[in-house]
Amino acid sequence: MTEVNGAEFPNRYAGMRGNVGGGGGEAEDWKYHAAEFAKGVAEMSVEFGRGVRDVVRQSVLAKDSYFARNFGEPCAKACERLRFLNEYLPEDRDPVHSWTVVFFVAVVALAALCVSSGHDTTTPLVKRLYIHPPNACRILLPDGRHLAYQELGVPAHRARFSMISAHPFLSSRLAGIPGLKASLLEEFGIRLVTYDLPGFGESDPHPNRNLQSSALDMLQLSYAVNVTEKFWVLGFSGGSMHAWAALRYIPDRVAGALMVAPVVNPYEPSMTKKERSRIWENWSPRRKLMYYLARRFPSSLAYLYRRSFLSGNHGQIDKWLSLSVGKGDRALIEEPIFEKFWQRDIEESVRQRNVKPFVEEAVLQVSEWGFRLSDLKIQKKRQGKGIIHWLKSIYSQAEEQLTGFLGPIHIWQGMEDKVVPPSMTDFVQRVIPGAMVHKLLYDGHFTYFYFCDECHKQIFTTLFGNPQGPLPSEVEDRTPIKIIEEKDDEEEDTLSDTARD
């Protein structure tokens, strides 16, 4: 107690003064000031809230305010209709106050649920891309670049048929025909050569590539790997763009074409408005945007690619490529065998971490190819204009020459394909009537080409007939020749001895 002018008052600081010099005096003093500060803040907040309430009542909720004039009547009608909810409140509670509290509590609870659902504790760790040591065979091209390739199937001297495949976008030489068994290649006597496009995998980038240079790369590869006869070209999805180029620029070296869901330029000038509309309506808005950016603003693709497959992390194929896939394709890409293949193929594709080849590949698809698909149509060679050429055509005994690609073109198209819609193959069939289209009623983009042994056998049987196995090895046995030579030497020795006698 403290005495002031003869009166005694309780001393609230007496305990703290008594503890000065002790161990807990300063801690208790800090706690006291913190508590007093919190109380002050709470009291100020309450007073501030009351002030805001009064201002709202006098300005916003006043009868002559802008809000009351424009929204007062609709709000009054809504409150009148919702008045029955007040029956659920206690009799001593103000409805305005109660429902305001309920509203804010509901908002806070909903926000908490959204936050908790957006941060799932079972989310798997992000898997990083692993760049494997280089292991590809490479050839040196005439311009000094190296081209990486891979050989599957029977060796060159035993192959009945040779195939060269260019991979699609965001892929590599490891793709080929996914899940293809070596025994099936042996059964048909097929040699399959796959290679990395410039800047992909272990192939050097091309400073100024186009589809003509792509066809020349394929030609140089065929010579380097000892493909002396004509070879088949294989094109799946975006890889078919390079197969079309081979048919156009090196037709004399190509025996035939195998296409699965082949891509064409969506801005092809020879498309009708109806054909173009049928193609574009199948794609998602994001995929349409990617095509538009590739055609108009290709530099913007570099940023998007660095944020996705060049980020160093694994991701889903449909999100990275902005694909819309059907049920069948969705079930396949969720299989572990597909995921393992996809991850390895991606790791090889982005090995060089260079965004330029990917931008180039995207731009190639939507730019002028340098030719039209109708140029591959088998047709009579056009004669020159003028009277002289007309007279020559009348009196000339020469046979009429044909232009275009004279070999077979086989196309397999899934009717449930949402990546390369069937309407795109319908356009191909219109401009190249000689192409043989095999429509797959219940297949999508991946289901017929990926990990389907029966499908692979059907494709090879359609192209090459019944399997005949590889060619027999040519064994050169020179033993009889040596024996004859030895006998000739013995006869010469005998004759010489006889002459001496």
Can you tell me the distance from the alpha carbon of 159 to that of 341, in angstroms, rounded to the nearest whole number? Answer: 27
Mean local confidence (pLDDT), 67-82? 70
Neighbouring residues of 213: CB distance < 8 A, sequence distance ≥ 6? 206
> Identity (one letter) of the amino acid at 421?
P
- Checking if the pLDDT of 484 tops 60, the result is no
Print burial letters for 320-356: b (CB count within 10 Å at least 16), e (below 16). Answer: bbbbebbebbeebbeeeebeebbbebbbbbbbbeebe
- The pLDDT assigned to 121 comes to 46
Q: Which residue has the higher pLDDT, 499 or 192?
A: 192
385 pLDDT above the threshold of 70: no
Question: Do 437 and 425 meet the contact criterion of CB atoms below 8 Å apart?
Answer: yes
What's residue 497's pLDDT? 52
Measured CA to CA, the distance from residue 345 to residue 169 in angstroms comes to 11
SS3 sequence of 105-151: HHHHHHHHHHHHHHCCCCCCCCCECCCCCCCCEEEECCCCCEEEEEE
Banded model confidence at residue 59, pLDDT cuts 50, 70, 90: confident
Least confident among 198-202, 404-408, 497-501: 497-501
Q: Is the pLDDT of residue 494 over 90?
A: no
Q: Checking DSSP bridges between strand 402-403 and strand 254-260, what pairing results, if any?
A: unpaired
pLDDT average, residue stretch 476-492: 47
Distance CA 233, CA 256 (A): 7
**Buried/exposed 113-149: b ≥16 CB within 10 Å, e otherwise:** eeeeeeeeeeeeeeeebeeeeeebebbebeeebebbb
pLDDT in tens, 244-285: 999 999 999 999 999 999 999 999 999 999 999 999 998 988
Task: Give the amino acid at 493.
Answer: D
pLDDT at 97: 65
Tokens 């070296």 appear where?
253
Report the distance separating Cα 422 and Cα 262, nearest Å.
Answer: 10
Higher-scoring residue by pLDDT: 87, 163: 163
Q: What is the pLDDT of residues 343-369, one digit of tens each?
A: 999 999 999 999 999 999 999 999 999
Tokens found for residue 483 = 């024996």
State the pLDDT at residue 388. Answer: 64
Whether the pLDDT of residue 78 is over 80: the answer is no
* Least confident span in 89-103, 159-173, 222-236, 262-276: 89-103
Averaged confidence pLDDT in the chain:
83
- Dihedral of the CA atoms 353, 357, 358, 361 (nearest 10)? -170
Residue with more model confidence, 232 or 390: 232
Token code pair at residue 241: 């763009």
Distances (CA, A) of 462 to 187, 192, 334, 433: 14, 17, 30, 19
Distance between CA 458 and CA 467 in Å, rounded? 11
pLDDT in tens, 122-154: 444 568 888 899 999 999 999 999 999 999 999
Q: Please give the pLDDT value at position 427.
A: 97
Predicted pLDDT of residue 52: 75
- Determine the residue type at 187: E
Whether the predicted pLDDT of 173 surpasses 70:
yes
pLDDT tens digits, residue range 394-448? 555 445 567 889 999 999 999 999 999 999 999 999 999 999 999 999 999 999 9
Per-residue model confidence (pLDDT) at position 479: 47
Q: What is the pLDDT of residue 416?
A: 95
Q: 3-state DSSP call for residue 420?
A: coil
> What is the C-alpha to C-alpha distance for residues 283 and 281, in angstroms, rounded to an integer?
6
The pTM of the full predicted model, rounded to 2 decimals, is: 0.70
Beta bridge partners of 4: 7
Which has the closest alpha carbon to 266: 449, 421, 430, 429? 421
Question: Which token pair is 234?
Answer: 């294989």
**Share of residues in the chain with pLDDT > 70 (%):** 75
State the Cα–Cα distance between residues 432 and 264, nearest whole angstrom.
Answer: 13
Query: Are the C-beta atoms of residues 415 and 441 closer than 8 Å to each other?
Result: yes
Over residues 82-99, the pLDDT tens digits come to: 666 666 666 666 666 666
Lowest mean pLDDT among 59-68, 81-90, 382-391: 382-391
